[in-house]
Amino acid sequence: MNLLDVVPSHAAGTIAGWLRDRGEPAYRERQLLPRLWQRPVRRWADATELPTALRAALDEALPLPHPVERERQVSRDGTVKFLWEFPDGAAVESVLIPEGRRRTLCISSQEGCAYRCAFCATGRMGFRRHLSPWEITAQVREMVLDSALGRPTNVVFMGMGEPLHNWKSVDRALTILNAPEGLGIGARHITVSTVGIVPALAELAARPEQFRVALSLHAATSEQRLALMPVERRFPLHDVIETLRRFPKRVTFEYVMIRGVNDRDDDARALAGLARPLGALVNLLPLHPGGAPGMEPSGAERIEAFAAIVSGAGVSVTVRRSRGLDIAAACGQLRTEAEDRGGVAP
């Protein structure tokens, strides 16, 4: 039984039953459950408040799996990128972005990605496999285990993979991340970024928690989006926008600025026309250099002019600066580089 792969209420029930079968006092459950996520330990032997014999029995019957940190890169701007390897050799990335009191962790939901967006390094890798709930939440748990890193204030599903393609695992991971008995991160501080997988998007909208959603838009018309994102063929932009209307909180449009591709004035006006009826926030970000061979980021002046048009049309817009430019910070870059060096299995 992997206690880290189930929601906290299920884990509590399993622990209670296991303790009861051993004849242990009921209060042990109150000691064990916080050690999964609230005050986590890497293995039960580290929970020194428990008797030695009980810790040994727990490590044998209910071991706590964890990834191995294969690489860590630290940028001059404070961004930290991790490459995690799981027991079967699968490897994924996560990125910690500190900014004042805010500590945002960008996590992965798949090894690779099936959707092959033209500007994405992970897409060029192809799809390897889904991550299980514990593998998704382990990326956050590892931060809490390292006192030098600390608990993230915000979590964004913007790493490797398409979260809603792996909805079954992501759905459970959201509960583990948010539950007070879990990692205890507020729903409004958790953002799921998606290319727009409509059925799972509707299920996310139906959850009672106010999780944030960000649409990887990158083009304001169906025709232009299809040239960049093959998913448009299966889930047309019109259907995605209609589904986004079900979210009670403001949605965000993520828009990567690519020189000569989607950064014209007409593109800005079309984007504003799409965002205004939804009251969406538009988040502009330059294409990360090296993330997409053959494509270049829009220049700073072009981005500012583009933002001014969107803002002038009555739409809230932010311009996000690139982080980790001196490390392999585009999604999939570090994983691909490690594979080329033979550091992880292809």
Residues in CB range of 202: below 8 A, 6 or more apart: 243, 246
Of 37, 61, 85, the residue at which a domain comes to its end is 61
Which domain, by its residues, includes 220?
68-341
DSSP 341: H
Of residues 331 and 259, more confidence is placed in 259
CA distances (Å), origin 231, targets 103, 198, 225, 259: 31, 11, 9, 22
Whether residue 146 is found in the same domain as residue 25: no
Tell me, yes or no, whether 161 lies in a domain: yes
Of 41, 61, 81, the residue at which a domain comes to its end is 61
Tell me, yes or no, whether 144 lies in a domain: yes
330 pLDDT above the threshold of 60 = no
Whether residue 31 is found in the same domain as residue 103: no
Q: Helices 198-206 & 237-244, crossing angle to 10 degrees?
A: 0
Q: Helices 198-206 & 167-178, crossing angle to 10 degrees?
A: 20
CA distances (Å), origin 281, targets 107, 128, 250, 285, 310: 22, 32, 7, 13, 10
Tell me, yes or no, whether 240 lies in a domain: yes
The mean-pLDDT minimum among 165-169, 303-307, 326-330 falls in 326-330
Of 35, 61, 87, the residue at which a domain comes to its end is 61
Residues in CB range of 50: below 8 A, 6 or more apart: 28, 31, 32, 44, 58
pLDDT bucket at 341, cuts 50 / 70 / 90: very low
Whether residue 174 is found in the same domain as residue 250: yes
Q: Which amino acid is at 184?
A: G
The position carrying tokens 């004035």 is: 265
Whether residue 154 is found in the same domain as residue 298: yes
Whether residue 75 is found in the same domain as residue 204: yes
What's the rounded Cα separation, in Å, for the pair 218 and 208? 28
Tell me, yes or no, whether 78 lies in a domain: yes
Contact 38, 184 (CB under 8 A): yes
Whether residue 239 is found in the same domain as residue 306: yes
Catalytic residue among 93, 135, 142, 254: 93
Q: Which of 17, 5, 41, 1 lies closest to 175 in space, CA to CA?
A: 5
- pLDDT for 46-58, tens place per residue? 999 999 999 999 9
Whether residue 46 is found in the same domain as residue 86: no
What's the rounded Cα separation, in Å, for the pair 154 and 104? 5
Q: Which of 335, 331, 309, 313 lies closest to 322 in space, CA to CA?
A: 331
Overall domain count for the chain? 2
Tell me, yes or no, whether 222 lies in a domain: yes
pLDDT bucket at 6, cuts 50 / 70 / 90: very high
Whether residue 217 is found in the same domain as residue 103: yes
Tell me, yes or no, whether 207 lies in a domain: yes
The CATH number of whichever domain residue 15 belongs to comes to 1.10.150
What's the rounded Cα separation, in Å, for the pair 215 and 319? 16
pTM, 2 dp:
0.93
3-class DSSP state for residue 181? coil
- pLDDT for 72-129, tens place per residue? 999 998 999 999 999 999 999 999 999 989 999 999 999 999 999 999 988 888 999 9
DSSP string, 283-305: EEEEPPTTSSTT--BPPHHHHHH
Tell me, yes or no, whether 346 lies in a domain: no
| Predicted local distance difference test score (pLDDT) of residue 157 | 98
CB half-sphere exposure, 235, CA atoms < 13 A: 22
Whether residue 260 is found in the same domain as residue 192: yes
Catalytic residue among 106, 117, 120, 331: 331
Is residue 93 among the annotated active site residues?
A: yes
Whether residue 209 is found in the same domain as residue 235: yes
Whether residue 92 is found in the same domain as residue 42: no
Tell me, yes or no, whether 198 lies in a domain: yes
Residues in the chain: 346
State the pairing for strand pair 281-286/110-112: unpaired
Is residue 181 among the annotated active site residues?
A: no
Whether residue 53 is found in the same domain as residue 95: no
The CATH number of whichever domain residue 109 belongs to comes to 3.20.20.70
